[in-house]
Structure 1
Amino acid sequence: MSKILVLNGPNLNLLGTRQPEVYGHTTLQTIEEACVAHGRTRGLEVACVQSNHEGALIDAIHAARDEQAGIVLNAGAYTHTSIALHDAIASVDLPVIEVHLSNIHAREPFRHHSCIAAVVIGQICGFGAHSYILALDALAAHLDGEAGA
């Protein structure tokens, strides 16, 4: 069973109450529970981590190198600003899928650019909480050699 890290960045702990018109009403706990349950159906052991701190996210990415087969990452606003996250992802040689609840390309112009896009295997955005399930499916296919890159 492959181990996968679902890593969530700043403000995602407020899901369900934070701007529900943009991010929906689903809580992070519900998303994490769904990821763990869906992961089991795909032969994945899913662990979930959330932090509002960039350094803690970097530490989690580094730790995943020795523990996980891949990462599903919603870096939140750090997606658009963090060269440090880019460098951390590039340094661990793990497949990472970038996830966003909203369609970042249909929002404010500053959200259109992702600092981490160049070092992830793909990006899924705009499908709400289901974006995580799509990412787990894509990562499972990648690990099984079913997804071309």
Structure 2
Amino acid sequence: MSETPVLHVLNGPNLNLLGVREPDIYGRDTLADIERRCVATAAGAEVVFRQTNHEGVLVDWIQEAREGADALILNPAAYGHTSVALHDALKALSIPVIELHLSNPAAREAFRHRSYVSSAATGVIAGFGAAGYELAVQAALILIRERA
């Protein structure tokens, strides 16, 4: 671990539409709002915050975290239910991985009940809306400290 912990917060497809897309499910906070909250919660840790709609880019960023991050927070969005590639990339990491969902997938449509990410994650935070990101940052920092 570096002297200043580095957290990678990666976001999957359609999360760039937060605040506009189905606010009754995903809330009214934008991704920029959430990024600001993550940085504030990180209390001095470096936060690398990214979003993409492209699965391969997300895989590249996960692989990049192998060398550049002390923990990874991943909101895979819909890719969590479909992507073996994300699962395989996560399995190559030796850092804590927190899977994050704004809504509770288990309380939604049946196709959302399966996550390919969960079995490769250290833990899962779901159903707390934008506050879930702050919880994930806190959990990541605890896990980093425990590993030090």
Give me the TM-score of the superposition, normalised by structure 1.
0.94
Q: 2:8 aligns with which of 2, 5, 9?
A: 5
Letter in 1 for 2:50: V
Question: What is the aligned partner in structure 2 of residue 109 from structure 1?
Answer: 110
Match of 1:28 among 28, 31, 40: 31
RMSD: 1.0
- Contact 1:79-1:116 at 8 Å conserved across structures: yes
- Give the corresponding residue for 1:98: 99
Q: Contact conserved, 1:4 with 1:46, CA < 8 A, in 2?
A: yes
Where structure 1 has 5 or more consecutive residues not aligned to the other structure, the ranges are none
Tell me the distance in 1 between the aligned counterparts of 2:68 and 2:142. Answer: 19
CA–CA distance in structure 2, aligned partners of residues 2 and 144 of structure 1: 9
Secondary structure at the residue paired with 1:123?
strand
- Larger mean CA deviation between 127-136 and 88-97 belongs to 88-97
Instruction: Note the 1:80-99 alignment, pairs <5 A.
Output: 80-99=81-100
Deviation at 1:66, TM superposition (A): 1.1
Q: 1:36·1:47 contact (CA, 8 Å) conserved in 2?
A: no
| Contact 1:70–1:139 (Cα < 8 Å) also in 2 | yes
Contact 1:69 1:94 in 2 (8 A): yes
Aligned partners of 1:50, 1:76: CA distance in 2, in Å?
Answer: 11
Q: Which runs of 4+ in 1 moved over 2 A?
A: none
- For the residues of structure 2 that align with 1:93 and 1:53, how far apart are their CA atoms? 24
Aligned counterpart, 2:146 = 145
CA–CA distance in structure 2, aligned partners of residues 74 and 133 of structure 1: 13
Aligned residue type for 1:135: A
Q: Which residue pairs with 1:133 in the alignment? A: 134
Structure 2 portions without partners, runs of 5+? none
Question: Among the aligned pairs, what percent are the same residue?
Answer: 50
Q: Secondary structure at the match of 1:113?
A: coil
